[in-house]
Amino acid sequence: MPVQTITLIGAGNLGYHLARTFHSKGFCIQQIYSRAIANAKELAALVNAEPIDDLQTLVHADLLVICVTDSAIQVISDELPVFDSIVVHTSGSTPMEVLHRHSRHGVFYPLQTFSKGFPVDFQNIPLLLESSSFNVQQELMQVANKISNSVFSVDSLQRQKLHLAAVFACNFTNHMMAVASSLLKEANLPFSMLENLILETVQKAIKSGNPESVQTGPAIRGNLGIMQAHSELLKDKLLWQKIYTFVSESIIEMGKGGKAGYETF
């Protein structure tokens, strides 16, 4: 029997976006749980659900979606009453097995970063599924295919590597921009000066299909003079200096294997 009713455990950014998307695709959102009842109420009101702050007041739903901080998943799973619901978590790095108390369990991992203010369209967001049985997999597939065009089955190790890759490509990329922004502030220059460059860089990397092949900059050119000058500029920021050194080393290392190495900037 296909999933019709869904309960969300957690009313943070991901819970917010998932609840609204499931609701808009015709699923019935049964309950929204949050430790802070105010958060549960706010979201529940948007999707016509019952807000709760006590897991013992859960009623049956076909699918229970745990979207809380990774470190709380196991605790929540252990506190959940055992129904015959499918219980999934939504974490990139948590093994599926933490849900083993529930005979039908799985992972429903949307590969995207969510912030409350910014709308997202799940259609283009890859959903990565893992399941405790073929039957559960089929039911999760049906739910996933209703909200996304890009659904994959992966095992826990693949998902973990993918999450790690996403940390590099997304979280670390954002931090590189944050460091740049801070350096510009120091020089009394606006971050907006870099916008065009950043967009061009990312579009080129994506278009190429292989970012390694379009690497530019002093490291890939082996320009030690500039790298030393940059390191000197960072002498009061030891952590950034280390990052500069190791990322440059890694660029040089990777460049040895391929034929990266464009000439300018």
Site for a second copy in 130-149 (CB under 8 A): none
Residue 210 near a second copy by CB under 8 A: yes
Residue 254 near a second copy by CB under 8 A: yes
Nearer to a second copy (CB atom), residue 62 or residue 151: 151
Query: 125 is written with which tokens?
Result: 């967001």
DSSP state of 12: S
Region label for 164, one of left (φ > 0), alpha (ψ between -120 and 50) or beta (otherwise): alpha
* Residues in region 55-74 near a second copy by CB under 8 A: 67, 69-71
Please report how the helices 13-24 and 134-147 are oriented relative to each other, as an axis angle in degrees rounded to 10.
80
Residue 25 near a second copy by CB under 8 A: no
Work out how close the CB of 81 gets to a second copy at its nearest, in angstroms, rounded to a whole number: 25
Work out how close the CB of 155 gets to a second copy at its nearest, in angstroms, rounded to a whole number: 9
Work out how close the CB of 30 gets to a second copy at its nearest, in angstroms, rounded to a whole number: 22
Work out how close the CB of 186 gets to a second copy at its nearest, in angstroms, rounded to a whole number: 6
Nearer to a second copy (CB atom), residue 56 or residue 196: 196
Residue 35 near a second copy by CB under 8 A: no
Tell which one of 1, 192, 235, 256 touches a second copy (CB under 8 A): 192
Work out how close the CB of 74 gets to a second copy at its nearest, in angstroms, rounded to a whole number: 10
Work out how close the CB of 40 gets to a second copy at its nearest, in angstroms, rounded to a whole number: 15
Tell which one of 45, 46, 55, 193 touches a second copy (CB under 8 A): 193
Which amino acid belongs to residue 109?
Y
Strands 127-131 and 50-52: unpaired
Q: Count the neighbouring beta carbons within 10 Å of the beta carbon of residue 164.
A: 12
CA 100, 106, 107 angle in degrees (round to 5)?
A: 125
Work out how close the CB of 60 gets to a second copy at its nearest, in angstroms, rounded to a whole number: 26
Query: 185 is written with which tokens?
Result: 């502030």
How far from 68 is each of 29, 72, 162, CA to CA, in Å? 17, 6, 19
Tell which one of 26, 82, 118, 236 touches a second copy (CB under 8 A): 118
Considering only 30-38, 45-53, 54-62, 227-235, which stretch makes contact with a second copy by CB under 8 A?
Answer: 227-235
Which residues have CB under 8 Å from 67's CB, separation 6+?
Answer: 8, 9, 10, 12, 14, 15, 18, 89, 90
Which amino acid belongs to residue 160?
Q
Pair 2, 60: CB distance under 8 Å? no
Considering only 55-63, 81-89, 97-105, 209-217, which stretch makes contact with a second copy by CB under 8 A?
Answer: 209-217
> What's the CA gap between 58 and 256, in Å, rounded?
57
